[in-house]
Amino acid sequence: MKLEYILIGFGILFCLAGIGYLAAEYVKYLSETGRVVSLLLTVGMFGFLGKYFEGLGW
């Protein structure tokens, strides 16, 4: 079970690093609409992730 959490933790870290890299590289090329939708999706992603961990009992 602990190994699972470690793997999930690594997965989340890699996902965040990937998003961070893409954001740093390409956010300047995004249209205004793309930026707004990206922001909403980021908020949604963290919100749902929080609800998921809440459901797990964290």
Residues in contact with another protein by CB under 8 A are 15, 18-19, 22-23, 26-31, 33-34, 37-38, 41-42, 44-45, 48-49, 51-52, 55-56
User: Could you give the CA distance from residue 55 to residue 58 in angstroms, rounded to a whole number?
Assistant: 7
Q: Which two tokens stand for residue 11?
A: 């997965």
The residue type found at 50 is G
Please say which residue, 1 or 56, places its beta carbon nearer to another protein. Answer: 56
User: Could you give the CA distance from residue 22 to residue 15 in angstroms, rounded to a whole number?
Assistant: 11
CB 17 to another protein: min, Å: 13
CB 10 to another protein: min, Å: 15
